[in-house]
């Protein structure tokens, strides 16, 4: 039931080479590829099979620019908290939002309280399911040579209002999707010295928190 070495290598390659992109060119994305992205989302796991994912494709330029202004305002707010030296980095996200071929909002559906299976003590499992769906979109896009950037600089209630989202629904991501001239070779924040990759012994424990695990 294990896949061939060639298949595994392709899967490890896409996991390794997927990047959060901020630089796009304006070449349109083929409809056939967009269809593959949404199909990959639908094949994600979901708690209690609730399939809470909804996507809103923003093709209207005025709505896109309204989102752009929202993100710009939140980046300015965040800059006051994290220091202005990060502002240049954050503004890359903003420019990506203007330049990318496609903007999609990824959201949680309304009426989620009816779904109790696997969510009675952990209602946030709906966001976990949506996130798995977005990761599927991201990997599929990378395989097709398409970049994706996840933007979370906005007030969810404002974005929900803009898109006439029903009460109880929730926008979790603005996805910038588009053709790119090149993919970054590593996460941009790593390149910029923001942080290093965690060591294995920092993230993997055995039986109790903090106890070293030798695989």
Which residue reads 């996460």 in tokens? 187
Considering only residues 8-27, where is the footprint of a copy of itself by CB under 8 A?
8, 10-16, 18, 20
The CB-of-47 to a copy of itself minimum distance in angstroms stands at: 6
Considering only residues 27-66, where is the footprint of a copy of itself by CB under 8 A?
31, 34-36, 38, 40-45, 47-51, 53-60, 63
Alpha-carbon span 43 to 133, nearest angstrom? 7
Q: By C-alpha distance, which of 25, 45, 171 is closest to 107?
A: 171
41/98 with CB nearer a copy of itself: 41
The CB-of-30 to a copy of itself minimum distance in angstroms stands at: 10
The CB-of-5 to a copy of itself minimum distance in angstroms stands at: 10
The CB-of-99 to a copy of itself minimum distance in angstroms stands at: 17
Site residue total, a copy of itself (CB under 8 A):
106
Strand partners of residue 212: 205
The CB-of-118 to a copy of itself minimum distance in angstroms stands at: 4
Considering only residues 127-186, where is the footprint of a copy of itself by CB under 8 A?
127-132, 134-136, 138-140, 143-145, 150-156, 163-166, 169, 172-173, 180, 182-183
Instruction: Name the DSSP class of 30.
Output: P
Q: How far is CA 95 from the centre of its chain?
A: 17
Alpha-carbon span 123 to 117, nearest angstrom? 10
55/98 with CB nearer a copy of itself: 55
Cα Rg, the chain, nearest whole Å: 19
Q: Is 73 in the site for a copy of itself (CB under 8 A)?
A: no
99/143 with CB nearer a copy of itself: 143
Nearest 5°: the CA angle 205, 210, 215 is: 25
Q: How far is CA 44 from the centre of its chain?
A: 14
- Residues in contact with a copy of itself, shown as a per-residue x/- string from 82 to 121 under the rule CB under 8 A: x---x---x-------------------------xxxxxx
**Taking every pair of C-alpha atoms in the chain, what is the biggest distance, in angstroms?**
54
The CB-of-176 to a copy of itself minimum distance in angstroms stands at: 13
| Alpha-carbon torsion angle 177, 178, 181, 186, nearest 10 | 10
Nearest 5°: the CA angle 169, 173, 178 is: 135
């Amino acid at each position: 039931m294990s896949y061939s070495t060639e298949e595994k290598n392709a899967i490890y390659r896409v996991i390794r080479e997927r990047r959060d992109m901020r630089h796009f060119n304006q070449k349109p994305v083929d409809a056939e590829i967009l269809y593959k992205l949404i199909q990959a989302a639908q094949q994600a796991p979901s708690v209690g099979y609730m399939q809470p994912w909804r996507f809103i494709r923003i093709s209207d330029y005025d709505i896109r620019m309204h989102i752009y202004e929202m993100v710009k305002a939140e980046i300015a707010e965040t800059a006051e908290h994290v220091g202005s030296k990060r502002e240049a980095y954050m503004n890359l996200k903003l420019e990506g939002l203007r330049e990318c071929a496609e903007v999609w909002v990824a959201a949680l559906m309304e009426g989620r309280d009816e779904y109790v299976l696997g969510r009675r003590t952990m209602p946030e499992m709906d966001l976990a399911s949506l996130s798995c769906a977005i990761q599927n979109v991201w990997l599929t896009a990378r395989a097709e040579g398409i970049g994706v950037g996840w933007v979370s600089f906005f007030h969810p209630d404002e974005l929900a209002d803009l898109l006439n989202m029903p009460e109880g629904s929730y926008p979790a991501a603005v996805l910038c999707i588009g053709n790119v001239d090149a993919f970054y070779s590593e996460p941009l924040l790593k390149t910029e010295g923001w942080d290093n990759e965690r060591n294995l012994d920092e993230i993997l424990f055995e039986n109790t928190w903090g106890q070293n695990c030798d695989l």
